[in-house]
C-alpha cells in the first residue's frame, strides 16, 4: 500500500490464486454476492426499456458477476478489476457470457475505469467486497465518480464490509471471523493464504480504510445520492443501495 496504489493489492498474490477459499472461510461473502445480484434483478426497469448498462467494480473471479448476469435478461455488464490473476479466472469462468455479448472486461483500477465512462450513461454500478479495500481519499473519489456516471435514477448497489458503529460489537464479530480463517486454512494446510488473509484483514480494519456504517452512508449523501439504505446485515457485512436523483 502506498500513495500510488491506494487500494489493497494483496489479491495479486496467494489470496488471488486461492480466492475461492473465501467461500469456505467467509460464507457470508458469497451470500452478499447473491444479494447484489438479487438487487440488480429488482431494479425497476424491464427489457422493453432496452439493455441495462451495468458496471461492476472489482469483479474478481466472477462470483458476483455471475450473480448479476443471471439476475435478469436485459443486461450488458462491464466487469472492472486490475488484478490479472483474478480477472483471468473470471474470463475463463464466464466465457459463455462474453460470447453472448453480455459481458466485457476492463483491466483498469476502479477510479481510472470510471473516469473513462461518459457522464449519465450507466444504469447500475454494482460491487461486492471491493470498496472497503480503498483508502478513504480514493474511496471518496470513486463514490463521486459513481454518482457522475450514473443516469438520473440510476442505482449504486454494494455488498461489502460495513463496520458496525458499536466498536465493541464490531471487534467481537471480527474476532469470530478470524477464528474461522484459522479453522479452515490450517485444516487445508494453506498457511501462506492464512498469513495473507490476516494481513489483509489488518488493512481492512485500519483507521484509513475501515468503512464505518454511519460515516459510509453520510459519504454517499454528501456525494448527492438519495434513498440510501443499508439492509441484509450479517455480522460485519451488509448491502447498501443508493440512487441518483431523477
The predicted pLDDT at position 10 comes to 42
Q: Are residues 6 and 137 in contact, defined by beta-carbon separation less than 8 angstroms?
A: yes
Q: What's the Cα-to-Cα distance from 99 to each of 76, 92, 228, rounded to whole Å?
A: 12, 11, 35
Euclidean distance between CA atoms 193 and 46, whole angstroms:
43
pTM of the entire structure? 0.84
pLDDT at 23: 61
What is the pLDDT, as a whole number, of residue 143? 98
**Sign of torsion over alpha carbons 85, 98, 123, 155:** negative
Can you tell me whether residue 69 is helix, strand or coil? helix
Cross-strand partners of 157: 126, 241
Listed in sequence order, the DSSP H helices in the chain are 14-17, 22-25, 27-41, 63-69, 84-93, 95-99, 110-115, 136-149, 167-187, 191-205, 213-223
Q: What is the pLDDT of residue 17?
A: 46
Residues with Cβ within 8 Å of 48's Cβ and at least 6 positions away in sequence, in order, are none
CATH topology of domain 10-243: Rossmann fold (3.40.50)
Taking the chain (246 residues) in consecutive chunks of 10 residues, what is each chunk's mean pLDDT?
A: 43 45 67 94 77 95 92 96 90 93 97 98 96 94 98 97 92 82 79 77 80 97 98 94 97
| Cα-trace Rg, the chain | 17
Cα angle for residues 43, 111, 153 (degrees, 5° grid): 25
Amino acid at each position: 500500500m502506498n500513495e500510488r496504489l491506494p487500494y489493497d493489492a494483496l489479491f495479486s498474490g496467494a489470496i488471488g490464486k486461492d480466492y475461492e477459499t473465501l467461500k469456505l472461510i467467509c460464507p457470508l461473502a458469497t451470500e452478499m454476492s447473491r444479494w447484489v445480484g438479487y438487487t440488480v434483478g429488482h431494479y425497476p426497469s424491464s427489457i422493453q426499456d432496452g439493455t441495462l448498462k451495468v458496471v461492476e467494480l472489482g469483479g474478481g473471479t466472477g462470483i458476483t458477476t455471475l450473480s448479476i448476469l443471471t439476475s435478469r435478461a436485459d443486461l450488458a455488464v462491464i466487469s472492472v478489476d486490475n488484478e490479472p490473476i483474478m480477472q483471468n479466472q473470471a474470463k475463463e469462468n464466464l466465457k459463455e457470457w462474453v460470447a453472448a455479448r453480455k459481458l466485457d472486461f476492463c483491466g483498469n483500477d476502479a477510479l481510472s475505469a470510471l473516469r473513462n465512462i461518459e457522464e449519465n450513461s450507466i444504469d447500475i454500478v454494482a460491487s461486492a467486497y471491493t470498496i472497503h479495500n480503498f483508502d478513504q481519499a480514493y474511496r471518496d473519489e470513486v463514490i463521486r465518480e459513481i454518482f457522475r456516471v450514473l443516469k438520473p435514477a440510476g442505482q449504486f448497489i454494494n455488498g461489502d464490509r460495513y463496520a458496525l458503529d458499536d466498536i465493541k460489537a464490531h471487534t467481537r464479530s471480527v474476532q469470530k471471523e478470524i477464528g474461522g480463517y484459522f479453522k479452515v486454512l490450517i485444516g487445508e494446510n494453506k498457511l501462506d493464504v492464512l498469513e495473507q488473509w490476516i494481513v489483509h484483514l489488518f488493512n481492512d480494519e485500519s483507521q484509513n480504510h475501515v468503512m464505518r456504517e454511519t460515516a459510509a452512508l453520510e459519504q454517499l449523501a454528501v456525494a448527492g445520492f438519495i434513498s440510501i439504505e443499508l439492509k441484509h446485515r450479517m455480522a460485519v457485512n451488509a448491502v447498501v443501495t443508493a440512487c441518483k436523483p431523477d
